[in-house]
């Protein structure tokens, strides 16, 4: 008899029960929908089997010889990988005290006997699918993090931002490691003139009266991982002074823990003054 469609990915279910008939029933239901099963007949055996099989879900009886299901659940939860593994108590105990004890022990769910196959299947598949989803999300996060940390990806991203984007070291000299092409319109300097401070350093473009205040604001925000906003005056290659505003949050490039990304773009212009924003963030979105 097939009760439900097989899961898309095989998982192993650890069944812990001292009654052979109960173990057989649970095994039949789980295997009927495509899961693998491992069997344990008491609490101590369950701990050994968990370490050996690393199941996706544990179906745990409460009343077991040598070590009851509550203590076995506590022990499993203390093992490597145990905290993330759902334990479903499947037992004839239905009183409130037993249910509370199960959840205190670390159980994720509680099903009373006699077992309704449909309920059991739904609960197990829900927990298995949640694990698969989390694993997929984690894999995506790792791949995305790897892509974002790559210099070619970062450079393409930054070059397509409005205004000027750059990656600089956390030093008062703001030594540039990358500068987007938008710097020419904003400062009058080419990227090659600003990278490694070859012709001029960015702090030299900041008005002397604003320089220390800007550095302290940016440095403190980076060290404390918080957002910041600061306004200052910037002098371009043509000698004109431009009003500039820095705004953003901390992001440290993984390739260089002492470097971060920033982006700047003008937001208004008045005679020889130009106001800009600089955003320091994971996405480097200039505004």
| pLDDT computed for residue 180 by the predictor | 77
pLDDT of amino acid 271: 30
pLDDT digits (tens, 9 = 90+) for 190-245: 888 888 888 888 888 888 887 888 778 777 777 776 665 667 677 778 777 665 54
> What is 72-128 written as a DSSP string?
HHHHHHTSTTTTTS-EEEEES--SHHHHHHHHHHT-SEEEESSP-HHHHHHHHHHHH
Q: Provide the pLDDT for residue 194.
A: 85
Q: Mean pLDDT, consecutive 10-residue segments, the chain of 287 residues? A: 45 95 95 95 95 95 94 96 93 90 94 93 90 72 57 60 68 77 78 86 83 79 67 75 47 39 41 38 30
Cα separation, 135 vs 34, whole angstroms: 20
CATH code of 151-279, in short, is 3.30.450.20
Fold topology of 12-147: Rossmann fold (3.40.50)
pLDDT at 10: 79
154 three-class SS: helix
100 vs 62: CA distance, rounded Å: 12
Task: Say what the pLDDT of residue 156 is.
Answer: 63
Locate CATH 3.30.450.20 in the chain: 151-279
Residue 78: per-residue pLDDT:
95
- In this structure, what token pair is assigned to residue 113? 């006997």
Distances (CA, A) of 43 to 164, 258, 271, 278: 63, 51, 80, 60
Residues across the chain: 287
Domain limits, CATH 3.40.50.2300, in the chain: 12-147
Alpha carbon distance 183, 85 (integer Å): 52
Is there a contact between 22 and 61 (Cβ–Cβ < 8 Å)? Answer: yes
For the entire predicted model, the pTM comes to: 0.50
């Amino acid at each position: 008899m097939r009760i439900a469609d097989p899961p898309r990915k095989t998982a192993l279910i650890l069944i812990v029960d001292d009654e052979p008939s109960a173990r057989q029933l649970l095994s039949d239901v789980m295997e009927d929908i495509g899961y693998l099963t491992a069997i344990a007949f008491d609490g101590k055996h369950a701990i050994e089997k968990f370490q050996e099989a690393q199941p996706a879900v544990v179906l745990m009886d409460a009343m077991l010889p040598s070590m009851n299901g509550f203590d076995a659940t506590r022990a499993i939860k203390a093992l490597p990988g145990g905290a993330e593994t759902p334990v479903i108590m499947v037992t004839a105990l239905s009183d409130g005290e037993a249910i509370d004890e199960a959840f205190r022990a670390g159980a994720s769910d509680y099903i009373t006997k006699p077992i309704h196959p449909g309920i059991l299947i739904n609960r197990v598949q829900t927990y298995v699918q949640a694990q698969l989803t989390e694993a997929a999300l984690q894999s995506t996060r790792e791949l995305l993090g790897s892509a974002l940390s790559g210099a070619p990806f970062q450079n393409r991203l930054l070059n397509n931002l409005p205004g000027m984007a750059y990656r600089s070291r956390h030093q008062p000299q703001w030594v540039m490691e990358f500068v987007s092409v938008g710097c020419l319109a904003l400062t009058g300097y080419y990227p090659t003139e600003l990278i490694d401070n070859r012709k001029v350093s960015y702090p030299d473009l900041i008005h002397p009266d604003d320089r220390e205040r800007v550095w302290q604001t940016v440095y403190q925000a980076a060290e404390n991982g918080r957002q910041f906003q600061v306004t200052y005056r910037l002098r371009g290659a043509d000698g004109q002074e431009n009003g500039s505003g820095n705004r953003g949050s901390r992001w440290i490039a993984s390739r260089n823990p002492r470097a971060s990304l920033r982006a700047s773009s003008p937001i208004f212009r008045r005679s020889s003054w130009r106001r800009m924003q600089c955003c320091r963030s994971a996405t480097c979105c200039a505004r």
